[in-house]
């Protein structure tokens, strides 16, 4: 949370029946799209609604699913996102939207029927420009459940408010976000040059313009994580790389929690170097004993991961617990490696290839 003692600008509050536009970027989401869309259509709202699906070129039959849904309900509108990048698709959908409140949704997410109405009430009550709640990750397989537990844990993703916060108040960013269109038009839409972390950067501009970004823990969104280890690693490496890029651009405005995974990578690297030097006898005697201190943070981390895997939240069975032991370091190390690459040489157009089907060329 962030100090809200300074003066802030109230965001406009449209009428209760002014209408809501949901925007969803979509790429290779055949297995998730219909449930996500139906959760949007089931929102309990007084005014008109629409959902704009920003379709990137998919290779798994997603577009056929989207077209079938649109043919069955006039509230669903399809727009094209040939660039296949999330911020580009979001901007295309927002520009085509008809209503004064924008709700960002994800094809891997599902909303409770009262989600949007509750968010609108909070927006009006605190006169915020953007409000978000808690991401509640869930899984259907042992691997996906392990990823979900990591997402929901403070150990997994560093304790950001939307991964388990309980205190309502001003926030650094918002998960997905229910946003006032007038404020978006004022500060500019998503930065299309940022491939990951685009929501954090937009919320930074909103806050710099004097508006509130708000966290309400009563708002919950179900999120289905990546289904395979390879996709998870690619996702987190790309996300880490873009966070490194954002650190290059915005420095200390990035929270300290973002620096824990790269510190782990450096600690593991130092331990490996010292281990090799000791095994080859290049390092021996008291210098070797002194250098062995580099093993301490790695050992402490390994004990922490083991405790999480063995704890009550470790899973339903042996496979769940084993995947938990694999998932947590995979996430942290992939993110940390990406972060260091991003800090040292910039993200350089890094793309999250975890959303691409096998053998799909990069856009």
Mean pLDDT of the chain: 88
Does pLDDT of 309 surpass 90?
no
Q: In the chain, where are the structural domains located?
A: 20-225, 250-355
- Find, among 167, 144, 150, 168, the residue nearest to 226 by Cα: 144
pLDDT over threshold 90, residue 362 = no
Average pLDDT over residues 38-63: 95
Q: Residues 200-207: contacts with CB within 8 Å, 24+ apart? A: 200/172, 200/173, 200/246, 201/246, 201/250, 203/130, 203/171, 203/172, 203/173, 203/174, 203/177, 204/173, 204/250, 204/253, 206/129, 206/130, 207/2, 207/172
- pLDDT score, position 363: 41
Bigger pLDDT: 257 vs 88: 88
CB atoms near residue 285 (< 10 Å): 7
22 pLDDT above the threshold of 90 = yes
Q: According to the CATH classification, is domain 20-225 in 3.60.15.10?
A: no
Of 20-29, 63-72, 242-251, which range is least confident? Answer: 242-251
- pLDDT recorded at residue 293: 95
Cα-based distances in Å from 235 to 41, 223, 239, 339, 342: 29, 15, 6, 12, 14
Mean of the pLDDT values across residues 255-283? 91
pLDDT in tens, 226-258: 888 999 999 999 999 999 999 888 876 666 778
Tell me the pLDDT band of 164, cut-offs 50, 70 and 90: low
**Tens digits of residue pLDDT in 92-102:** 999 999 999 99
Could you list the beta-strand ranges (E) of the chain: 20-26, 49-55, 76-80, 101-104, 109-111, 130-137, 169-170, 178-180, 213-223
* Region of residue 201 (phi > 0: left; psi between -120 and 50: alpha; otherwise: beta): alpha
pLDDT over 90 (residue 350): no
**pLDDT > 80? residue 275:** yes
How much of the chain, in percent, has pLDDT values that exceed 70? Answer: 91
Tell me the mean pLDDT in the region 276-296.
Answer: 92
Give the predicted TM-score (pTM) of the model: 0.87
Give the bridge partners for 101, in sequence order. Answer: 20, 180
Q: 100-134: per-residue pLDDT in tens?
A: 999 999 999 999 999 999 999 999 999 999 999 99
User: Which of 134-143, 148-157, 173-182 shows the lowest mean pLDDT across its residues?
Assistant: 148-157
Nearest CA to 224 out of 21, 35, 51, 25 is that of 35
């Amino acid at each position: 949370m962030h100090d809200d003692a300074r003066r802030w600008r109230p965001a406009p509050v449209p009428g209760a029946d002014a209408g809501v536009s949901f925007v969803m970027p979509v790429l290779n989401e055949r297995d998730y799209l219909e449930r996500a869309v139906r959760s949007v259509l089931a929102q309990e709202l007084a005014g008109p609604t629409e959902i704009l699906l920003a379709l990137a070129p998919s290779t798994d039959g997603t577009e056929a699913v989207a077209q079938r849904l649109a043919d069955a309900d006039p509230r669903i509108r399809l727009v094209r996102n040939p660039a296949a990048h999330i911020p580009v698709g979001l901007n295309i959908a927002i520009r085509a939207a008809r209503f004064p409140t924008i709700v960002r949704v994800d094809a891997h997410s599902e909303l409770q029927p009262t989600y949007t109405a509750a968010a609108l009430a909070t927006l009006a009550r605190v006169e915020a420009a953007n409000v978000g709640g808690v991401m509640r990750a869930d899984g259907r397989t042992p691997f996906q459940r392990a990823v979900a537990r990591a997402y929901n844990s403070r150990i997994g993703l560093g304790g950001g408010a939307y991964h388990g916060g309980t205190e309502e108040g001003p926030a650094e960013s918002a998960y997905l976000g229910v946003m006032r269109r007038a404020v978006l038009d004022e500060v500019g839409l998503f930065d299309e040059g940022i491939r990951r972390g685009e929501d954090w950067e937009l919320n930074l501009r909103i806050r710099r313009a004097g508006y509130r970004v708000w966290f309400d823990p009563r708002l919950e969104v179900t999120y289905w994580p990546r289904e395979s280890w390879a996709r998870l690693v690619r996702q987190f490496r790309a996300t880490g790389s873009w966070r490194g890029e954002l650190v290059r651009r915005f420095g200390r405005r990035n929270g300290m929690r973002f620096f824990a995974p790269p510190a782990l990578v450096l600690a593991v690297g130092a331990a490996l170097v010292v281990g090799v030097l000791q095994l080859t006898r290049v390092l021996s005697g008291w210098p070797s004993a002194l250098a062995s201190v580099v093993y301490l943070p790695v050992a402490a981390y390994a004990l922490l991961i083991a405790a999480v895997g063995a704890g009550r939240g470790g899973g339903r069975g042996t496979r769940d617990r084993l995947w938990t032991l694999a998932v947590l370091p995979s996430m942290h190390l992939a993110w940390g490696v990406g972060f260091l690459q991003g800090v040292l040489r910039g993200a350089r157009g890094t793309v999250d290839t975890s959303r691409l089907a096998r053998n799909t060329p990069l856009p």
